[in-house]
């Protein structure tokens, strides 16, 4: 079955510290991978995407993610977290065959402590 | 460029009623997809419309329907509302063709509460 797993429901990171959010997927086809961020009461903002090519992708707000096919993972990283990064982060997977139908993980809530 | 807009932002309805939600995509985007977000089930794909035709459909009952107009604006309708339909309904737009199909931009959502 197709699925996306975000193992960490809630993570707290000190401001200025590095961040890594984990994402593992199970998908039959060659995946397209996305990270979205959602602030309370808001819609989803696209942070970055992977379609093909270089497995290390850069996104907005200083985020990056690395696609590791052998581990079926697409972890999100940021070298130095800012208080404004506190939000909920969603990993999603799609494929050309699936069109725009994305499968989302359950999300990871990031809290930033001062 | 203006983002995806959704109206209304909040709705309260009673069980058994029906509701219509509206979504205006980013200018130039021809594909509109709808998602339901609930605390229990998370984000789930409802359906996608492209060029006024439903192109893809998720696993939801027939009470959930949609349509798209020639200007790419889309509406979603839920009939015979149930308490479990309470959710944030998100609309996403994309170019609709080429690799741009798969890069979706979301609106702020419509919060539907069914009492």
Q: How many CB pairs under 8 A join A and B?
A: 60
What are A72-82's pLDDT values in tens digits?
Answer: 999 999 999 99
**Over 90: is that where the pLDDT of A40 sits?**
no
Measure in Å the smallest separation between the Cα of A87 and chain B Cα atoms: 15
The C-alpha atoms of residue A113 and residue A89 are separated, in whole angstroms, by 17
**Over 80: is that where the pLDDT of A29 sits?**
no
Measure in Å the smallest separation between the Cα of B5 and chain A Cα atoms: 10
The C-alpha atoms of residue A74 and residue A22 are separated, in whole angstroms, by 7
The fraction of chain A above a pLDDT of 70, given in percent, is 100
**Over 80: is that where the pLDDT of B84 sits?**
yes
The C-alpha atoms of residue B86 and residue B8 are separated, in whole angstroms, by 15
Residue A95 confidence (pLDDT): 80
- Report helix, strand or coil for A9: coil
**A42 band by pLDDT with thresholds 50, 70 and 90:** confident
Q: Are B5 and B107 in contact (CB under 8 A)?
A: yes
Over range A10-37, report the average pLDDT: 94
A100 or B104: which carries more pLDDT confidence?
A: B104
- Name A88's Cβ contacts closer than 8 Å, sequence gap at least 6: A37, A38, A39, A107, A108, A109, A110
**B99 band by pLDDT with thresholds 50, 70 and 90:** low
**Over 70: is that where the pLDDT of B30 sits?**
yes
Q: How many secondary structure helices (H) and strands (E) does chain B include? A: 0, 11
What single string gives the DSSP state of each residue in B30-85?
A: -EEEEEEEETTTEEEEEEEEETTEEEEE-S--TTEEEEE-TTS-EEEEE-S--GGG
Residue B100 confidence (pLDDT): 66
Residue A96 confidence (pLDDT): 76
Contact residues of B toward A, CB < 8 A? 4, 6, 31, 33, 35, 42-45, 48, 55-56, 58, 90, 92, 94, 99, 101-109
Instruction: Give the tokens for residue A78.
Output: 């940021």
């Amino acid at each position: 079955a197709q699925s996306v797993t975000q193992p960490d429901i809630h993570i707290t990171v000190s401001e200025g510290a590095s961040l890594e959010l984990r994402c593992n997927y199970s998908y039959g086809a060659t995946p397209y991978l996305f990270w979205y961020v959602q602030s309370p009461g808001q819609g989803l903002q696209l942070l970055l995407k992977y379609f093909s090519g270089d497995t290390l992708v850069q996104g907005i707000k200083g985020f990056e993610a690395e696609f590791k096919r052998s581990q079926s993972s697409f972890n999100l990283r940021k070298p130095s977290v800012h208080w404004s990064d506190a939000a909920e982060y969603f990993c999603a997977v799609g494929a050309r065959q699936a069109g725009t139908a994305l499968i989302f993980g359950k999300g990871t809530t990031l809290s930033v402590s001062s | 460029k203006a983002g995806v807009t959704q109206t209304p932002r909040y709705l309260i309805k009673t069980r058994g009623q029906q509701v219509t939600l509206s979504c205006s995509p980013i200018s130039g985007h021809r594909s509109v997809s709808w998602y339901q977000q609930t605390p229990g089930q998370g984000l789930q794909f409802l359906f996608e419309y492209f060029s006024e035709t439903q192109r893809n459909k998720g696993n939801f009952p027939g009470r959930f329907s949609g349509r798209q107009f020639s200007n790419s604006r889309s509406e979603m309708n839920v009939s015979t509302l149930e308490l479990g339909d309470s959710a944030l309904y998100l609309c996403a737009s994309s170019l609709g063709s080429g690799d741009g199909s798969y890069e979706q931009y979301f609106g702020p959502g419509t919060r539907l509460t069914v009492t």
